[in-house]
Structure 1
Amino acid sequence: MFIVFSFNKKSGFTLAEILITLGLIGAVSAITIPTLAYNYRAKVLEEQYRSTYSDLKQIGAMINLEKGDIGEYANGLNSLGDWEKEVIGRLNGGGKLQATSVTDVTDDKRNIYRNSGANPGPFAFNLNGGQLAKVGDVCDNGSIWSDSKGRLWTFNFEMRIICVDVNGAANPNRLNIDTFAFIPMSAKAVAAWVHDDQAHPENYSGEIVPCDLDVITRKGLSNAYPKVDTVFDPKKSYTNGQKLSGNYTEVNNKNGNWKSAYDACPFFGPVENVAPTIGYSAGKSAKNRDITSSNNYWKDYINYK
């Protein structure tokens, strides 16, 4: 009689194989997870912007129906308070916030918020003739309002500007990233403000660019803004402040590199003038980066920062 012994070989992974696999998983995760996070954050900002603009279009439609042309009506109001009530009164929930309250709005939210001891921002710059000069705040800081969606609203009466921080006090608190300026246009619509609206009767003179002063200061820049998209030749020698082909002015920054305020704030005017277009009304389209469903505007910003 023969006794048959059956040996069952157990299969498994060695410790080295497991460690290699975990390393590969970690490497792939390190590459893909940040990308997914960027895409998600970008999509959230985009949806918040579009939701806000949709709400403003509805407000504009109601004012058109009840009061007549929204641009003419807004310009005919006598006070900032009247303009605030006209817009805020058509939103749900929320109320007026205290700009000096630690629980509401604090100093570090300098994009549209401040208290009496802080500098306001963002600023509007007059860049006519290549000379950078602050001409005023993009958003008024008299009152800050909230709504049921957690957005923060403030107003500037001079151009009837409506400023909205679409994600509330959450970061990044950057103009044209999560904070947008809108103006009522004569084309019976509310348009996102790009940087100038020359036909507006109360417009500032010259080229107006809303941009974050902190960015320009931090980059060591001063008076520069290209009027058109033009390729700069780094091999060519330029004099500080020289106009290039009549298109734009470059300045020399602290490090001796040719840069411009436009370079420091590439997202200064990305928003599309969604309602009016040239030839139809006073509105102008963006010269730089229009927000469309097909581009990666917010994702590019997150990567840029």
Structure 2
Amino acid sequence: MKSNYKKCLVSVCPNALLPSKKILAFTLAEVLITLGIIGIVAAMTIPTLMSKIQEKRYTTQYKKIFSELNQTMKMLENDESSPITMCKSFDDTCFRDQFATKMKISHSCNGAPPNKCLATSTFLNNQVRYYKMNVNDGWPSLVTLSGYSVKFRYHRADCNFVEDAETAWAGTLRNCGWVQVDTNGLNAPNIVGKDIFFLAFMQDGFIPYYETDNKINDCYKGTGISCASIRINNGGMHFSDP
């Protein structure tokens, strides 16, 4: 009995205290299933997350441009060199050049894109025309050292030109002209409502373009014109929303 007891202590009992490797291990099938689930979740969430991050960048840059253009207009007014007083009716080049005197620019361009200032662009949902206006019409433009582009269209100083269909972009609000800004210049996506926005030029500065009827619907499913107002007022939107 004594001999058997010692044998149990040495060879049998220690083995009974060791944990089973079988309990802690995962099978290859379990590992593959887990990795597959992780991959599916990542594929579903990462693109949406990246889209929202990029959208936030566009909105932030757009607000910065909106502020800079209005500040530039104030400087021109203080110097008595506002386009309202300096430019003849429909002199788009004068409109561009007056702003260029107060902005840090790398290039000035004339003619339709693509050029050094603007890439070929579209409205939202692959539309290229809004009323009588093509997003790629060749009005004078410039690109700034910080990377954003601006295209200029001037009407006249009294802000009362009603024959031009472009005034419909501001609903019943008549304007002196407009600018088309691309928040990241030549870089993609070059789509109105995403990185391109339109601002109405008034006698004392700029306001966002908008559609008077169903603004939100236009920004989701239309041309993207109304996004200029929604981004300023609401701080952004999600293009995947219904």
TM-score by length of 1: 0.55
Give secondary structure in 2 for the equivalent of 1:167: coil
Structure 1 or 2, whichever has the larger Rg, is 2
The yes-or-no answer on 1:82 pairing with 2:79 is no
Q: Match of 2:222?
A: 265
Q: Match of 2:145?
A: 148
The yes-or-no answer on 1:171 pairing with 2:188 is yes
Amino acid at match of 1:50: K
Aligned mates of 2:37, 2:220 — CA distance in 1: 38
Aligned mates of 2:113, 2:225 — CA distance in 1: 29
Aligned mates of 2:93, 2:202 — CA distance in 1: 19
Amino acid at match of 2:59: E
Aligned mates of 1:100, 1:80 — CA distance in 2: 14
Amino acid at match of 1:189: G
Of the three residues 7, 10, 31, the one matched with 1:4 is: 10
Q: Match of 2:64?
A: 51
Identity %: 21
Q: Match of 1:157?
A: 154
Q: Is the 8 Å Cα contact of residues 220 and 241 (structure 2) preserved in structure 1?
A: no
Amino acid at match of 2:210: V
Aligned mates of 2:137, 2:153 — CA distance in 1: 4
Aligned mates of 2:219, 2:231 — CA distance in 1: 18
Aligned mates of 1:122, 1:110 — CA distance in 2: 8
Give secondary structure in 2 for the equivalent of 1:271: helix
Q: Match of 1:193?
A: 209
Aligned mates of 2:153, 2:147 — CA distance in 1: 20
CA drift at 1:269: 2.0
Q: How does 1:66-105 map to 2 (within 5 A)?
A: 66-67=79-80, 72-73=84-85, 79-97=91-109, 104=116
Aligned mates of 1:39, 1:14 — CA distance in 2: 38
Of the three residues 120, 123, 133, the one matched with 1:109 is: 120
* Residue segments in structure 2 that go unaligned for 5+ positions in a row: 1-5, 156-175
Q: Match of 1:239?
A: none
Q: When the two structures are aligned, how many residues end up with a matched partner?
A: 204
Amino acid at match of 1:55: E
Q: Is the 8 Å Cα contact of residues 75 and 102 (structure 2) preserved in structure 1?
A: no
* Residue segments in structure 1 that go unaligned for 5+ positions in a row: 113-120, 126-133, 196-226, 230-259, 273-289
TM-score by length of 2: 0.67
Aligned mates of 1:27, 1:33 — CA distance in 2: 10
Deviations 1:248-275 (A, max 9, x none): xxxxxxxxxxxx9998516332322xxx
Q: Tell me whether 169-178 or 13-22 shows the greater mean CA deviation.
A: 169-178
Q: Is the 8 Å Cα contact of residues 181 and 193 (structure 1) preserved in structure 2?
A: yes
Q: How does 1:126-137 map to 2 (within 5 A)?
A: 134=132, 136=133
Aligned mates of 1:48, 1:137 — CA distance in 2: 24
CA drift at 1:172: 2.6
Give secondary structure in 2 for the equivalent of 1:176: coil
Q: For residues 104 and 175 of structure 1, do their structure 2 counterparts lie closer, same or farther at Cα, with a shift above 3 Å needed?
A: same
Q: For residues 74 and 65 of structure 1, do their structure 2 counterparts lie closer, same or farther at Cα, with a shift above 3 Å needed?
A: same
Q: Match of 2:78?
A: 65
